[in-house]
Every structure is written in C-alpha cells, then in structure tokens.
Amino acid sequence: MPKTNLLPDLIFRGFNRRRNARKLIVHASNGIVESRFVPIGGMDQWITMRGEDRDHPALLFIHGGPASPYSIFSPLLRSWEKHFTIVHWDQRGAGKTFRKNGRFGSGTITFDRLARDGIEVAQYVCSRLGHEKVILIGSSAGSLIATMMAKRCPHLFHAYVGTDQNASDPQFDSYRLSLDFLRASGNAKGVQLVERMGPDPAKWSRKDFEEKNRHIVRSKNHTVPNMIMDLMLPSMLSSPDHKYRDLLDIFKGMSFSLDHLFNELMTYHIRDLGMRFELPFFVFQGDADLFTPTVAAKAYFDEIEAPRKEFVLIKNAGHLACFARPDQFLEELIERVRPLAFSSEKRNRDAFMVQ
C-alpha cells in the first residue's frame, strides 16, 4: 500500500541513515567505494562507484528526472554490488554536480550535451577500473540520453538496458492512457486537466505537465509502489550520503534542469536517432508504468534492430522499476546481461593471445 505521509521517515531519519551506512560498508579486499568530483565536459561532476569486486562488470546508470540523482537508492541496490560495480553520476545540473558548479557554471543543458558528458563518464569508468566496456542502463529521461550514447559509441558498452524506457513517440496516445487511468482512479480534476491540455505534448505548458504528473502520482494504484511516496522521498531521507543541504540541491537542480530541457523533452522523437543499434539492446520495463507507458516502450522495442534484443516485464512495478523490484531486476541482469560482459572479455583475451 502506498504511504500516506512521511512523518515516520522524518522522525527516524537519523536511525535510518545510520542503519543504511552500516549496510553499505564493503569489506571485500578487491572492493571499491569511491565518491568524487571528476573533470567531465569542462567541469567537475560527481561520480560514485561501489562494488565488492572491481573486476566484476560495471553498470553505469544514466538517471532520469531530469536531474534526479540515483545515488540516493544505493541501499536498495546493495545486493547488486556482489555481482556488479554500480556507477552513479550526478549529471550536469543535477545534485552534487549542480551544487559544485551552480546555475552559471553549468552551461546550457541539452540532451546532446548530457550524452557527450555521459560518454566521457563511461570512458573514465573504463580507465579507472581497467575495463574495456561497461553495461549502460538508461532510466526514464535518462533513457533518451543513454540511447544517444549507445548509438554514438557502441564500442564502449557490453549492452544497453533501457528501463522506464522513454519512447517519445508522437504517434502513441499517452494522452488517452493518462485519461483512462485518471478516470478509473476517480480523479475528476486530473481528467479535466488532461482534457484541457489535449493530445499534443508540444502545446503543453510546464505548469500543466507537472500538475498532470502530480495527479497521476496521487491517484491510487495499490498494485505497485508509489514512485514518490514509496521510493524517492524515503530514499532521499534515509540516504547516509545526502545531508539536508544535498536534498535541497537535488530539488533546485531538478527545477533548473527542467528550465533547460522542458521544450526538448516535449518534442523529442527518439526514432530520429535511427532504429539500428550495434550492441545488444534490452528493455526491462515495469508492467504498470504510466509515465513512460509500457505499451509505447514495447512498440519502440519491436522496431529496434540489434545483434541481440530482449524485452522483459518487471512484475508489479510502475515507474522506477529497478528500485521498485530490485530483486527481479537483478535476476534479469544476471541471467541475460552479465554473461555478455564475460563473453566480451573472453573474446578480447582470445584476440590478444592470437596476436
């Protein structure tokens, strides 16, 4: 059941942060726990790396939002660190990177600029860990950035994994899906708002867009965790690596970044990138995702051409599926994606031996 208030999380914030700090301790001799600013795209950007064996494949998360850092979810992904090195990056205009550089030091933010930064981050991770490639995970708005990265530099990535995959499809009627959900939830005000907005995202105002999302978040769906009340806000409040000042910077960065990206987000056509990818292409999508609709993600996936591709439903999950159902998501990664990293490394070793 979705939470109705965050009072317990506020009251027990200190206890929860200390508990998570203990949970996040890595004792393994070949483990890695690093959090630092790294020069990326001409500015210092915040990168964290965590894992119990730095020789394991690295997962590079491209977070959504825009500007919603995923390092707040590290305690939820602690079990993943036995199998992968988890890399989180506070993008230009997001979180600790935003606090370091401020409004005037962040430059102009576009999806193209973020994709170029992301490629530099991937190169840094490979260099730091001594790996040739990483596994790329793009989530929500971050899936737009990550698909650009995968398209431009497939040689850097063992595979692309989209989750909360944004299909940005002008032919797909997400307008109708939102209306149907709000009507089924008995949210009359939300229905009136969406009807007034109309089906063309290019004509939406930022105010209406954000209000629509709030109506969807508040509408009852007892089968899946609530993206805000069950996942984001509790994780923010219980993160041992984020003080109150950091949380304020997250919200400031989200507002600042959406100022830059809103018009592009509303008119972005992902198919303009091309539908052929030169690396394995996966989509792990929540089966009840309304923000990046599952049916739209599947329609996009069906058109993709790639050496290998698979579409997987994460059960009883909406948006932010990997944090809503981290156990199933990890199982899918281990079964379907992790072996590709080892087979790639084996091919590289064999090629070296031949030489």
We report the CATH number of the domain holding residue 266 as: 3.40.50.1820
Instruction: With respect to residue 188, please indicate whether it lies within any of the assigned structural domains.
Output: no
Instruction: Write the pLDDT tens digit of every residue in 95-150.
Output: 999 999 999 999 999 999 999 999 999 999 999 999 999 999 999 999 999 999 99
pLDDT of residue 287 exceeding 70:
yes
pLDDT of residue 2 exceeding 50:
no
| 94 backbone dihedrals φ, ψ, rounded to 5° | -125, 140
Instruction: With respect to residue 217, please indicate whether it lies within any of the assigned structural domains.
Output: no
So what's the pLDDT on residue 221?
64
Instruction: With respect to residue 85, please indicate whether it lies within any of the assigned structural domains.
Output: yes
So what's the pLDDT on residue 351?
45
Which residues are CB-neighbours of 2 under 8 A, at least 6 positions away? 220, 221, 222, 225, 226, 229, 230
Instruction: With respect to residue 179, please indicate whether it lies within any of the assigned structural domains.
Output: no
Question: What Å distances lie between residue 338 and 74, 152, 168, 290, CA to CA?
Answer: 19, 22, 28, 28
Which residues are CB-neighbours of 279 under 8 A, at least 6 positions away? 150, 154, 157, 158, 159, 160, 306, 307
**Percent of the chain residues topping a pLDDT of 70:** 93
Burial group, residue 102, by CB count within 10 angstroms (0-12, 13-18, 19+) = exposed
Instruction: With respect to residue 225, please indicate whether it lies within any of the assigned structural domains.
Output: no
Instruction: With respect to residue 187, please indicate whether it lies within any of the assigned structural domains.
Output: no
Tell me if residue 42 falls in helix, strand or coil.
coil
pLDDT of residue 188 exceeding 90:
yes
Angle at 38 between CA 37 and CA 40, to 5 degrees: 130
At residue 179, what is the residue type?
A: L
So what's the pLDDT on residue 162?
98
- Poorest-pLDDT segment among 9-18, 69-78, 209-218: 209-218
Instruction: Write the pLDDT tens digit of every residue in 73-98.
Output: 999 999 999 999 999 999 999 999 99
Grade residue 223 by pLDDT with cuts at 50, 70 and 90: confident
Nearest alpha-carbon partner for 109 in 272, 304, 255: 255
Q: Please state the domain count of the chain.
A: 1
Instruction: Write the pLDDT tens digit of every residue in 313-344.
Output: 999 999 999 999 999 999 999 999 999 998 66
So what's the pLDDT on residue 174?
73
Token pair in block for residue 113: 């600029």
Instruction: Write the pLDDT tens digit of every residue in 158-178.
Output: 999 999 999 976 556 678 888
Grade residue 349 by pLDDT with cuts at 50, 70 and 90: very low
Instruction: With respect to residue 260, please indicate whether it lies within any of the assigned structural domains.
Output: yes
Instruction: Write the pLDDT tens digit of every residue in 36-73.
Output: 999 999 999 999 999 999 999 999 999 999 999 999 99
Domain assignment of residue 348, given as a range: 29-169+242-354
Strand partners, 139: 163
Grade residue 354 by pLDDT with cuts at 50, 70 and 90: very low
pLDDT of residue 233 exceeding 60:
yes
Q: Whole-number mean pLDDT of the chain?
A: 92
Nearest alpha-carbon partner for 130 in 80, 55, 31, 216: 55
Instruction: Write the pLDDT tens digit of every residue in 20-41.
Output: 999 999 999 999 999 999 999 9
Instruction: With respect to residue 142, please indicate whether it lies within any of the assigned structural domains.
Output: yes
Cα–Cα distance between 91 and 43 in angstroms, integer? 11
